[in-house]
Amino acid sequence: MNNKAFNPFEMAQAQFDKVADQIDLDAATRDLLRFPLREYHISIPVRMDDGSVRIFRGFRVQHNDARGPAKGGIRFHPQETADTVRALSMWMTWKCAVVDIPLGGSKGGVICDPHNLSMREQEQICRGWVRQLSKVIGPLVDVPAPDVMTNAQHMLWMLDEFEIIHGNKLPGFITGKPVGMGGSLGRTEATGFGVIFALREALKELGIRPEDTTASVQGFGNVAQYAIKLYEQIGGKVICVSCWDQNDQTSYSFKKESGIGFESLQNITDRFGGINKDKARDIGYEILPGDAWLGQDVDILMPAALEHQITGENVNKISRRVKIIAEGANGPTTPEADRIISERKIFLIPDFLTNAGGVTCSYFEQVQSNMNYFWEKDEVLGKLDVKMTSAFNAVSELARKRKLYMRDAAYYIAIGRVAQACKDRGWV
């Protein structure tokens, strides 16, 4: 989204095509899976606090639902595009398939900047989004969730609007709800913790102890924060974190060679994952340019902010010491960068496997909401660990056996499962 020439949907299609060629996917299945099944473009009129009316544009893209109801988050972002949402919906299909949960892939978005909107205005956008789409989403059709710059409060407004429209209590309509209002314990931590469950398995496979590693992270939002928290708990040390500065409209990296310390940094971070520069400087952080996180002399890189961050232009900044890249964000690495990462034999844990903890826990939330019976946090996180570990092991075993790049191995498994479901249904 930060580069006009970059088209995430073309990138998602290129990744798909590469593996479709390798597995000789038949022409009809390929044609079906290269594009979304359905997409909706909507306009949401909102009366602003100053009395004026503004129209916000939004999307919902359902890439594939052969394996079950579509599932995917809603992003609020000023540079949201239909192609970003298309790409993300496609990655959701592969993500649900690679962790083997019975869901398809979708994604939604609204072009807006919550930084500049009051809570009331945000509520109107949420309710308007549901009003425009209520006929084509639902607990057995397509289930939304939070994503970039949306949270549990947004989900609850959306659920409330959906239930008003349908005159029924339908808590399985949406996930990421507040705990106590149908949300699952562990959901907040799920994506970040899932990143570390996968990373822990990768370290095991490479025979490296977490205590002997350091990491540099892009982002300090939901995914990055919980990934850092658990990574520190298993013994790792994060020395650099990068995030967006809303005031300066640029990004900065925050470095502390002795280790950042999750809590001290969290205390000076706003709810959008922006770190206060002055306070950081006061507590001993070195403030560096936004892209400095990528060139750090560490063992592990975790891009956990947004797409298109490791590219053909900057991939050579990656230090020779880096052994693992764990992609917390969706689509952070371009195919050109992939080629170099693969040649350098860096162990890459691909996005739709690494960050599948969020959707897996969302699936657990749906199950709990539909049963109206809620599990303890340990039970949720325990089930999450089992799912992430077995998905990681299946992908890495295939990669080892067939000498595949990890991203390609994950695609082999995911595309294979979705293609089979389409075939079994008689679609192709």
Q: Which is nearer to ligand NAD, 80 or 161 (CB)?
A: 80
- The Cα 240–Cα 216 span in angstroms is 5
- Contacts with 161 (C-beta within 8 Å, 6 or more apart), sequence order: 126, 127, 130, 131, 134
Q: In 3D, which of 359, 146, 148, 145 has the Cα closest to residue 244? A: 148
Shortest approach of ligand NAD to residue 194 CB, angstroms? 8
Q: Which is nearer to ligand NAD, 89 or 191 (CB)?
A: 191
- The Cα 395–Cα 359 span in angstroms is 18
150 touches ligand NAD by CB under 6 A: no
- The Cα 127–Cα 159 span in angstroms is 9
Tell me which amino acid residue 87 is: A
318 touches ligand NAD by CB under 6 A: no
Contact 145, 71 (CB under 8 A): yes
358 touches ligand NAD by CB under 6 A: yes
Q: In 3D, which of 80, 75, 63 has the Cα closest to residue 13? A: 63
Contact 362, 334 (CB under 8 A): no
Shortest approach of ligand NAD to residue 313 CB, angstroms? 15
Among 221, 236, 295, 350, binds ligand NAD (CB under 6 A): 221
354 touches ligand NAD by CB under 6 A: no
Tokens standing for 279? 């306070």
Helices (H), 373-427: 377-402, 406-424
302 touches ligand NAD by CB under 6 A: no
Q: Write the interaction track for ligand NAD spanning residues 227-266; mark x where CB under 6 A is met and - where it is not.
A: ---------------xxx------x---------------
410 touches ligand NAD by CB under 6 A: no
Shortest approach of ligand NAD to residue 291 CB, angstroms? 8
CA 366 to chain centre: 18
Task: Return the number of other C-beta atoms located less than 10 Å from residue 400's C-beta.
Answer: 12
- Contacts with 208 (C-beta within 8 Å, 6 or more apart), sequence order: 299, 323
274 touches ligand NAD by CB under 6 A: yes
Shortest approach of ligand NAD to residue 40 CB, angstroms? 20
Shortest approach of ligand NAD to residue 365 CB, angstroms? 12
Instruction: Please choose, out of 16-24, 32-40, 326-334, 338-346, the segment that lies near ligand NAD by the rule CB under 6 A.
Output: 326-334
Catalytic sites, residue numbers: 107
290 touches ligand NAD by CB under 6 A: yes
Among 93, 216, 296, 330, binds ligand NAD (CB under 6 A): 330
Among 99, 329, 337, 353, binds ligand NAD (CB under 6 A): 329
Residues 177-196 that bind ligand NAD (CB under 6 A): 191
148 touches ligand NAD by CB under 6 A: yes
- The Cα 226–Cα 229 span in angstroms is 5
Please, is 22 exposed, middle or buried when counting C-beta atoms within 10 Å of its C-beta (0-12, 13-18, 19+)? Answer: middle
Judged by the rule CB under 6 A, the positions of this chain that interact with ligand NAD are: 2, 147-149, 191, 218-224, 242-244, 251, 273-274, 290, 304-306, 328-330, 355, 358
